[in-house]
Amino acid sequence: MSARQLVESRQTAGTRDVCFTVLDAAVDIVIGLALLGELLAVLANITGRTFFHASILWTDEVGGLVLMILAFIGGAIAYRRDQHSAVHTIVNALPPRWRTACRTSTDWLALIVACSTGDLALSLLHLHMGQTTPILGIPSTVLGAPLLAGMALIAVYALERLSRAPLATALSTGAVLVGTSVLVVATRDLWAGAFTGAIPITVALTAFLATVLIGFPVGFALVLSTLVYLLPSPATPLIAVPQNLSDGMSNFVLLALPFFILAGAVMEHGGISSRLVKFAHAVVGHIRGGLLQVTVVSLYLVSGLSGSKAADVAAVGPVMRNMLESEGVGLEEGAAVLAASAAMGETIPPSLGLLVLGSVTTLSMGALFTAGIVPAAVVALCLMGLIYVRAVRGGMPCSERALPREIARTGLQAVLPLLMPIMLYVGIRTGVATPTEVSALAVGYGIVLAGIGYRALGMRTFYRMMTKASTMSGMILFILAAASSFSWVLSAAQVPQALVTAIEHWHAGTAIFLIVSLVAMIAFGSLLEGLPAILILAPLLLPLAVHVGLNELHYAICLLVAIGIGAFLPPLGVGFYVACSVAGTAIGPTARSMLPYIAVLLAALLIVAFVPWFTLALPNAFAPGK
């Protein structure tokens, strides 16, 4: 390449980078304003109903549009930033050449899924032409436009990624994948007749597993598998794909998810983690294993604020790392305790796992919030017991007990942050407001506390916080929409009925079913991360649990504990690598340090699973009429 060509190439690349920077900023503004606007609308509705006895009736309709914007346009920017849930462990172990080929293949697959779904979404818009919503009269085409726009953005982002890949790899993988896709669609009439019985769902599940294992984002793999299942079907048109994706965002309660994520972002940027850690240190720092005990208690407290395990680790990890270094405690041991403690957070309100499980099942959100508190405490006490025993055997000295004045001082500093999960729990438990309204109030409270009380939220920080929360919300809602579509496929293929029949023929007792399903959830929680595992498996497993005689609420909490363990289980658990990164430790030594904690986590899971009282005591005590 000549000097002139090199200069022109760099100028072209620079112009392209500027264009995509502007595009990304525009997307951030759109999804951020959508989330902020709906937050203000919900708060205004609460205010009007409380003080003026008048509700704003159109919030549900606008909420549906906001969910569509967040799920599909937010899901697109999450793809741009590599924030979609994906399995990278296997791909990262491959040689560089094969690793590049896998990553390029996933971009081609994303392009294929985006173009196919976008074309179908356009057809769906034509069918809904002329229809309007009942209150505001919003055209149905406006409600469906975010899906089409999101697919267009994903296609643009996929092409941009492919333009940066090695030319030979991009051309070869594209020729194989695009050529195969075109050939399959063109010859559908020739082979579709042979795809009967269990063959379509078997091929769809195989496509899902194969693409996920090469690093394809889970949400995209679910959409692809739905397309694969419907392609040979003469009875169900492919337009069912965008229809089911849109229907997956039709539940107003789903707005609680982005609101809770935003509340966690507010608390994360509000500088409250150090206050909670200092309070925990004052209360339990004198127990054998001092700082490690503080880590467990701090994670229990913070899990009730952030709702995200990664945010839990990011909030507590840096503070604990500095304290561990100053007192000479091994960082590998600290990282292991950090990961093991974060694993229990899946059942502590307002965990995203609880919210997602409540949104995809018939379980009461209030009952889930109540049922998860004691099981998490059981896990925490088991971990603290192990830390105590190891500290005694290792001859670790005891720290001095904090003076009552110090406990009172740090407790007062922690009161306002701790009011947030209490407010969430009481609001949802008593039913005075919907989960969406309670989560909106939590965001408002957090903004006032962090912005005015702690003066930690400037405009720039607020913008970054909104961008982060909107992008994460987009990723989760996109997966939720995709999982809703794939769940429809599983129901159409009668997979739940087949599983019930298999269990009846297998004569699986309650104990065997419980152990086998929990082991499976640990494995899937490690492989797929928490939320996709919940979305895909929980709707299938909960009816089976009832069928074999398990309490549905108890079993749901057991599933969440198992998923939490899987998310932090080396070598596949993503949370484990987050803990190592935050603590600044090597993976190998930390994994060895974590072995005894894994054993205790599994023992705690069995205790929770086979002693239902821990899960059901609080829900029964606070049941209506008691």
pLDDT of the residue at 281: 74
pLDDT of the residue at 601: 93
Which of these, 324, 306, 283, lies nearest to 582 by C-alpha position? Answer: 324
Cα(430)–Cα(437) distance, integer angstroms: 13
pLDDT tens-digit map of 487-528:
888 878 877 677 667 766 666 678 888 888 898 888 877 776
> Residue 225 to residues 46, 112, 113, 204, 428: CA-CA distances in angstroms?
41, 12, 10, 5, 36
The backbone region for 262, taken as left when phi is positive above 0, alpha when psi lies in -120 to 50, beta otherwise, is alpha
pLDDT of the residue at 327: 65
pLDDT of the residue at 59: 82
- pTM of the shown model: 0.82
The backbone region for 469, taken as left when phi is positive above 0, alpha when psi lies in -120 to 50, beta otherwise, is alpha
Cα(30)–Cα(586) distance, integer angstroms: 40
In this structure, what token pair is assigned to residue 125? 């818009």
> HSE of 193 in the Cβ direction (CA atoms, 13 Å)?
2
pLDDT of the residue at 223: 93
Q: What are the 10-residue block averages of pLDDT along the chain, 626 residues in total?
A: 52 74 92 90 85 80 89 93 81 89 94 94 88 83 90 95 92 93 89 83 89 88 92 82 86 78 73 71 76 83 65 69 69 84 82 80 83 92 90 74 80 76 71 75 80 75 84 85 84 74 70 87 75 78 86 93 86 75 77 89 94 91 63
Query: Which residues sit opposite 139 in a β-bridge?
Result: 132
Greatest distance between any 2 Cα atoms in the chain: 83
Cα(281)–Cα(298) distance, integer angstroms: 8
Q: How many CB atoms lie within 10 A of CB 490?
A: 22
For residue 132, the 8-state DSSP code is: B
The backbone region for 431, taken as left when phi is positive above 0, alpha when psi lies in -120 to 50, beta otherwise, is left
Cβ-Cβ contacts under 8 Å for 221 (sequence gap 6 or more): 207, 208, 211, 212
> Residue 32 to residues 143, 262, 445, 528: CA-CA distances in angstroms?
18, 11, 19, 27
> Residue 85 to residues 114, 205, 220: CA-CA distances in angstroms?
17, 18, 10
pLDDT of the residue at 507: 62
**Residues, the chain:** 626
pLDDT of the residue at 12: 60
Query: Which residues sit opposite 512 in a β-bridge?
Result: none
pLDDT of the residue at 329: 66
